Structures are given as structure tokens and as C-alpha cells.
């Protein structure tokens, strides 16, 4: 009996390599954060696709791992004290993997908290606002005649991009001159806003040159090019 066999999720998504970290995800702005992180730190993992078209995120198996029915989630057979660890919420997973590997987060306390504040900035602002704007631009909300809700999210998204742009005017990456989990948290959402939601013209992306330059650097990283397609 493997360490992971006690977890119901492995009945629906069997682990071919139970000694590896198991990732349950889809290539969404939140979903790609974790494969990008895993590629960056070089930790072996096995990716499982949670198919939204089949409503698999609401299956009993997935809910046994994440009762909030959102991706991504992980199951690490080698968690703290060598025991399996089930974890959901992308921000929590990024912090866990950074601390597990000792990579992509500063070792000094002040630097660590500076990175964490930008991860929280994404979780509390960038993700919710960009996601709502995407609904009004690309999905059902685009058909609403009343454009005031859309314009509210446009204004807030522009404000957030302005905050990021000002930070990138002073630093190579979001939390400083080193690439960290803050960048892995934020840039998939910027990429989604501009390239998936196709809101580039609506938000006036040309006004945020530092953001665009940094996004280009982000997308050029081998870990990002691979992680954006996982699970396939």
C-alpha cells in the first residue's frame, strides 16, 4: 500500500509514479503557476488534468482533496516529517514549494515578507479583478448591454497594472531584482488578461511598458514555456 493510496483522489486519478508530487490542475492563470514553479525548482511531479468540461472539479474525488472545488491542488508524498501532504490554493502551494526547495524566496526574513506581500497582492487584487474583467470581455458578460460593471473592472485592472508598472520601473522583477514566486503568481494573470481574455486594447496595455517588457522576459523562460501547457 503506497503512501498515496489512502487518498480518494488517487482512485479517480491513479498515480503512475506515487513517489512523485501529484498535481491536479488545468492550464488557467491560477493552474499554470504550480507547473511553472515545479519546472523552476526541478522537483519531479506527475500532472493530472481536471477536466472542467466534464465538471471533474466537482467530483467527489476532487472535492476530497479540495472542498472548494478549485484548481490547482497537490498531493505530496514527501511532505513535512516525511508524511503525505494534501494542499490547495495556489498561493499556499507556491509558498510551500518555495520553502520545501529553498528556492525562489529570499532566506532573510525581510526579503521573504517582501515577496509574500506581492503574492498576497495577486491573490487579493490581480486575480479577482482580472478574472472578473475576463468574464465581461470574453465570456457571458460580454453580452450585457450595461457596460458599467465591465468598466468598473477595467478601471481597477488599470490601477493594478499601474502599481505593477511602477514597481517594475525600479526593479527587474516584481519583488526586486531576483525572480521569485511573486512573479510566478502575478505574470500568468497578466498574460491571461492580455492574451487569453484579449483585453489588451480595452485596458490600454500600451500605457504599461514596464509590464509588457517584464511579461516578455517571463514568457521567454523555459519553465514558463513548458508550464503554460501543463496539463496538456
Encode pLDDT of 130-160 as tens digits: 999 999 999 999 999 999 999 999 999 999 9
Mean residue pLDDT of the chain comes to 97
Burial class (CB in 10 A: 0-12, 13-18, 19+), 31: buried
* Residue 167 per-residue DSSP state: H
pLDDT at 1 exceeding the cut of 70 = no
CATH 3.40.30.10 placement within the chain: 8-103
35, 47 contact by CB (below 8 A): yes
Residue 232's pLDDT is what? 87
Q: Which long-range contacts link 107-113 to residues 24+ away (Cβ below 8 Å)?
A: 111/176
Residue 151's pLDDT is what? 98
Decide if domain 8-103 falls under CATH 3.50.50.60: no
Q: How far is 76 from 57, CA to CA, in rounded Å? A: 19
CATH topology of domain 109-227: Glutathione S-transferase Yfyf (Class Pi); Chain A, domain 2 (1.20.1050)
Q: Which helix (H) or strand (E) holds 75?
A: strand 73-76
- What are the pLDDT digits (tens) for 190-227? 999 999 999 999 999 999 999 999 999 999 999 999 99
Q: Which helix (H) or strand (E) holds 85?
A: strand 85-88
Mean per-residue pLDDT for 161-188?
Answer: 98
CATH 1.20.1050.10 placement within the chain: 109-227
Amino acid at each position: 500500500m503506497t503512501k498515496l493510496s489512502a487518498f480518494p483522489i488517487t482512485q479517480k486519478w491513479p498515480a503512475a509514479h506515487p513517489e512523485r508530487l501529484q498535481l491536479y490542475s488545468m492550464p488557467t492563470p491560477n493552474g499554470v503557476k504550480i507547473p511553472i514553479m515545479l519546472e523552476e525548482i526541478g522537483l519531479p511531479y506527475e500532472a493530472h488534468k481536471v477536466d472542467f468540461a466534464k465538471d471533474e472539479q466537482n467530483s467527489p474525488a476532487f472535492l476530497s482533496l479540495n472542498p472548494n472545488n478549485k484548481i490547482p491542488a497537490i498531493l505530496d508524498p514527501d511532505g513535512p516529517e516525511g508524511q503525505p501532504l494534501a494542499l490547495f490554493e495556489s498561493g499556499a502551494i507556491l509558498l510551500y514549494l518555495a520553502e520545501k526547495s529553498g528556492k525562489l524566496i529570499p532566506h532573510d526574513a525581510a526579503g521573504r515578507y517582501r515577496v509574500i506581500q506581492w503574492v498576497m497582492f495577486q491573490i487579493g487584487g490581480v486575480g479577482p479583478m482580472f478574472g472578473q474583467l475576463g468574464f465581461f470581455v470574453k465570456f457571458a458578460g460580454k453580452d450585457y448591454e450595461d457596460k458599467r460593471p465591465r468598466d468598473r473592472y477595467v478601471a481597477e485592472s488599470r490601477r493594478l497594472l499601474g502599481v505593477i508598472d511602477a514597481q517594475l520601473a525600479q526593479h527587474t522583477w516584481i519583488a526586486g531584482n531576483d525572480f521569485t514566486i511573486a512573479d510566478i503568481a502575478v505574470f500568468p494573470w497578466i498574460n491571461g488578461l492580455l492574451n487569453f481574455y484579449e483585453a489588451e486594447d480595452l485596458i490600454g496595455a500600451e500605457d504599461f511598458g514596464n509590464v509588457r517588457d517584464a511579461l516578455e522576459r517571463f514568457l521567454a523562460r523555459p519553465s514558463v514555456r513548458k508550464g503554460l501547457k501543463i496539463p496538456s
